[in-house]
Amino acid sequence: MAALGVRIVEAIVHDDLKFLFRAKERFDIGIDGEIEIVVDGPDNKRLGTGRLIAVQIKCGYHYFKEEKDEHFIFRGELKHLDYWLSSSLTVIVILCHPDTRMAYWAEINPGLIERTGSAWKIMVPKASSLLKSQAAIRTVAGRSYLRSVIDLAVQAWFHAKCTERVEFSGIGSMPREWSGTDHLITIGEREFQLQLIIARYGIFEGDLLSNVIRSYRVNSIPSTAGIIIALVAEHPSAFNFSDEVSALLSSDHIPIEVRRLLFNRHTCEIGELTADGEVELEYDGEKPLWSQSWDSFLNSRRMPHYIRPL
């Protein structure tokens, strides 16, 4: 079935999307091929862009057995998910039906993933037919490396939020033996260690938070006022903390300031999630100029004024 799935995807990508598809010679590492965006050039020549998407293809009847009104459910192992999330390319999973030759896809991102014990699942929308997804595939391929984008968006958020002067220390000012958190950040006259934690599997893992706190105890800098933990997720369900995580974040042993931040990968914007489900945006004197519901924020394509497209 694997070879049939590759043929189905290759035909759709070449004939209908007018992009390039490169199949991998071996299918045992979790990536079956790559899609490269192609554009029209001079003299009606098609030109490659270097914008790539990694593709995992699943072909078979059993991938369509777990079906809801608007989507299919794809289930996988954590070892594959970890491999895909670690990729420098965005990864999409494509489900191919052997008889109809229809293909449906979903992007592997933490905002869509649901943990199920030691495994995970993702909804693959019926509306996301690969045949009709030229614009969507082009948009996904045009994104920058996600971790770096989130890091920059968090820095932009701190500058927008704080009325006092904010400075992020450069690599040259870091202590030589320091291996604690992501940044040293100065807000006014106070210096903090800033740790950026992304909900990698759609949740915040207790072991990771424990390691952060343990590292702070070992590598803390005496001059700092404490640690700011910026928790970044792409869906508010990630902030439904277990008792273990809640206890870690309310530790009395070290001064911890926690920021619950939502990331919109369409606009590369960060907003702070409030207890009532609103997302605070664009501040004046640390008070939000306006806010909106989390679902409106995550579905927005509005480019914030302080982020300019390339």
pLDDT in tens, 189-224: 888 888 899 988 888 877 878 887 777 766 666 767
- 255, with CB counted inside 10 A (0-12, 13-18, 19+), is middle
Distance CA 59, CA 218 (A): 49
Cα–Cα distance measured from residue 205 to residue 267, given in angstroms and rounded to the nearest whole number: 26
Q: What is the pLDDT of residue 92?
A: 96
DSSP one-letter code for 154: H
SS3 label, residue 151 = helix
Beta bridge partners of 257: 228
pLDDT at 226: 83
Give the pLDDT score at 218. 67
CA distance 127 to 133: 9
Q: What is the dihedral of CA 107, 27, 25, 11, to 10 degrees?
A: -50
Distance CA 155, CA 168 (A): 8
Buried b (16+ CB within 10 A) or exposed e, 6-30: bebbbebbeeebebbbebeeebeeb
Beta-bridged to residue 99, according to DSSP, are: none
Q: Which residues in the chain land under pLDDT 50?
A: 176-177, 305-310
Rounded-to-integer distance, Cα 5 and Cα 103, Å: 9
| pLDDT, position 299 | 85
Give me the domains of the chain, ranges plus CATH numbers.
2-141 (3.40.1350.10), 146-298 (3.40.1350)
- Spatial separation of the C-alpha atoms in residues 295 and 154, rounded to whole Å: 20
- Are the C-beta atoms of residues 100 and 8 closer than 8 Å to each other? no
Q: What is the pLDDT of residue 100?
A: 95
Q: CA-based angle 257:261:262, to the nearest 5? A: 170
Q: pLDDT for 54-103, tens place per residue? A: 999 999 999 999 999 899 999 999 989 999 988 888 999 999 999 999 99
Q: The whole model's pTM is what? A: 0.73
